[in-house]
Structure formats: structure tokens, C-alpha cells
Amino acid sequence: MLSTNNLSCTRDDRTLFEGLGFSVNAGQALLMEGQNGSGKTSLLRILCGFREPDSGTISWCGETTPNPQYFADMAYVGHLDGHKKELTVLENLKLALALGQTGKLSIQQAMAKVLLSGYDDALIQTLSAGQKRRLSLARLLITHNILWILDEPFTSLDKEGIVLMESIMAEHCAAGGMMVLTSHHDINLHGIDVQRIRLS
């Protein structure tokens, strides 16, 4: 279980949020809403440990983060997709696998699932923005992780991609996974227990 207590974040004397406390249990999702600049990305980066919160604590399964177990259980997809553009799809996924722990799906299964079969030897720089997003999704599927932290996961996906993403999210939560995400899109998260937090 992910829980936060009294989190606050200020940027250049501007308070983005304060006293933020929430908890996400197995099978639940937390959807952060708010205007541009309201601190959604900052909050996600705090959850990843890239930023220190100005006050407050985050804990994972009762232990204060960051701790090794937390990093083994979480995965992050941010604005930058983190693929090397000079490497092929397969090389990128193999690297992700080497840096994490083996997950539910094999590389080939995951590529089939995100509709990238046959792209094994394609260089990332030849992929479209939507295909890169789907590759990030494949990365989530091949490595072991319970908590997904997703920053605008629907950006640049087409209709088909959005439906695919939604179904993969639903499967993840149904299997006891957790998600913290931000999105501008009106997304369909039916079947998932969603909490919404509005930052302003």
C-alpha cells in the first residue's frame, strides 16, 4: 500500500500543494487532476524520489521511502520515454529487463500485446510518438512492478491505443496492481476503483 502524509511542495515561493495525504490500496487507482502548472508532475516526481517534498512522508507497505523494496515494486513512465533512440525495440526491452526483475510477460508476449510485433529490429528513432508510448507500456509489462506511476500516459496515443491502454490498466488493477496517474483526457477507467484528487 502506498500512503502519503502531509505532503507539501513549493516552487519559487509558490505553494503547489500542502497537507496532501492519500493512500492507494491494491487494485486501486489515483487520478490526479488539475490545470497545467498545478503540481501534478511535481507530485509524481516526488513519489518517484526525484524531488524531495518540502514536508511530509511517503511510505510503501509501511516503510518510509525511498527503500530498495519500493524501487523493486514501482515503475514510472514520464514525459520522457527513456528509450535510447539509437537502439532497437528489442535492445531497449532487454535492457529494461536487465535493470529490473522479470515480470509476468515475456518480451515477445508484451510486444504482441501492445501491437508492436515484428518491430524487434526497428530503431526507436524510426518509431512514431504513439509507438514509443506503447513501447513504454511494454516495458511496464515485462518487468515486475506493483505500483505504476504514469504521467499523462494517453498523450500521443490514437483511439485504438487509448482503448488498449485502458484495458491493460484494468487488467493491472484487477490483478492487485496500483496506479497513480495524471491525465487531461476523459478516460474510461470503468471497473477500477478510482480516487480523484484535484490540485489547484
Partner 1 sequence: MTLFKAFSAIVRRDLVLAMRRRSEIANPVLFFILVITLFPLGIGAQPKLLQAIAPGIIWVSALLATMLSLDSLFRSDFDDGSLEQILLSPYPTSVLVLGKITAHWLTTGLPLILIAPLLAIFLGLPNQSLSILLLTLLLGTPVLSLIGAVGVALTVGLRRGGMILSLLVLPLYVPVLIFAGNAVALASGGLPVTAQISILTSMLLLALVLAPWPTAAALKMSMNS
Query: Which residues would be at the binding site for partner 1 (CB under 8 A)?
Result: 45, 48-52, 68, 71-72, 74-76, 78-87, 91, 94-96, 98-101
> How many residues are there in the chain?
200
The C-alpha cell that represents 66 in the structure block: 525511498
CB closer to partner 1 out of 156 and 195: 156
Spell out the residues 6+ positions from residue 147 whose beta carbon is closer than 8 angstroms to its own. 2, 24, 60, 73, 74, 75, 177, 178, 179, 180
d(CA 181, CA 196) in angstroms, rounded, equals 10
CB closer to partner 1 out of 4 and 143: 143
Rounded to a whole number of angstroms, the minimum distance from the CB of residue 114 to partner 1 is: 17
Rounded to a whole number of angstroms, the minimum distance from the CB of residue 82 to partner 1 is: 4
Rounded to a whole number of angstroms, the minimum distance from the CB of residue 47 to partner 1 is: 11
Pairing of strands 14-24, 2-11: antiparallel
CB closer to partner 1 out of 87 and 187: 87
The C-alpha cell that represents 174 in the structure block: 484487477
DSSP H helices in 34-189: 40-48, 68-73, 89-99, 107-113, 129-142, 159-174
d(CA 40, CA 64) in angstroms, rounded, equals 21
CB closer to partner 1 out of 85 and 185: 85
Rounded to a whole number of angstroms, the minimum distance from the CB of residue 95 to partner 1 is: 5
Rounded to a whole number of angstroms, the minimum distance from the CB of residue 147 to partner 1 is: 11
